[in-house]
A = this chain, B = another copy of it.
Amino acid sequence: MATSIKDIANKLNMSVSTVSYALNGGPRSVSLETKNQVLAAARDLGYRPNRVARSMVTGRSYTIGVAPPEIGDDVFLSPYLQLAINGVANEAGRLHQDMLVFTRYRETEHEEMLSIILDGRVDGVIFIAPHFTAKTVELAAALQLPCVAISGAPVEGVTSFSINNEQGMTQVLEHLYELGHRRIGHIAGRLDMQDALIRLQGYQAFLHARKIPYRDEFVAKGQFLIEGGRRAMHELMNLPIRPTAVSCANDEMAIGAILATYDLGIKVPEEVSVAGFDSTPSSAHIHPPLTTVRQPIGELGEVALRTLVDMIEGNEPQEKKVFETDLIVRASTNHPMEEIHEGSLYSH
Contacts and interface: CB of A to CB of B under 8 A. Distances in A.
Nearest to A46: B143
Given A82-B82, A285-B282, A103 B93 contact: yes
A342 interface: no
Interface stretch (A69-77, A199-207, A321-329): A69-77
Interface in A14-55: 48-53, 55
Contacts of A6: none
A61 to B, nearest CB: 7
Contact of A100 (B53, B63, B286): B63
A101 interface: yes
Of A56, A90, A101, the most chain B CB neighbours within 10 A belong to A101
Among A56, A86, A259, the one with the most B-chain Cβ atoms within 10 Å of its Cβ is A86
Given A52-B52, A52-B55, A119-B50, A89 B101 contact: yes
Nearest to A280: B282
B76 A82 contact: yes
Given A85-B76, A114-B48, A120-B51, A101 B101 contact: yes
A83 B82 CA distance: 11
Interface in A103-117: 103-104, 106-107, 114-116
A121 interface: yes
A97 interface: yes
A192 interface: no
Contacts of A103: 89-90, 92-93, 97-99
A255 to B, nearest CB: 6
A208 interface: no
A287 interface: yes
Given A49-B115, A52-B61, A281 B281 contact: no
Tallying the copies of this chain within the complex gives 2
Nearest to A252: B281
Contact of A99 (B90, B92, B101, B107): B101
Contacts of A92: 103
Contacts of A55: 52
A53 B2 CA distance: 18
A119 B49 contact: yes
A99 B116 CA distance: 12
A211 interface: no
A119 B55 CA distance: 11
Nearest to A114: B48
A346 to B, nearest CB: 29
A286 B103 CA distance: 31
Nearest to A283: B285
A53 B120 CA distance: 8
A145 to B, nearest CB: 10
Contacts of A118: 2, 48
A96 interface: yes
Contact of A96 (B97, B104, B255): B104
A213 to B, nearest CB: 34
Interface string A275-290: 0000001100111100
Given A48-B118, A121-B51, A99 B100 contact: yes
Given A96-B104, A121-B121, A282-B282, 15 more contacts: A49-B115, A51-B119, A52-B121, A53-B120, A56-B56, A61-B121, A63-B121, A76-B82, A76-B85, A76-B86, A89-B103, A98-B103, A99-B103, A100-B100, A287-B287
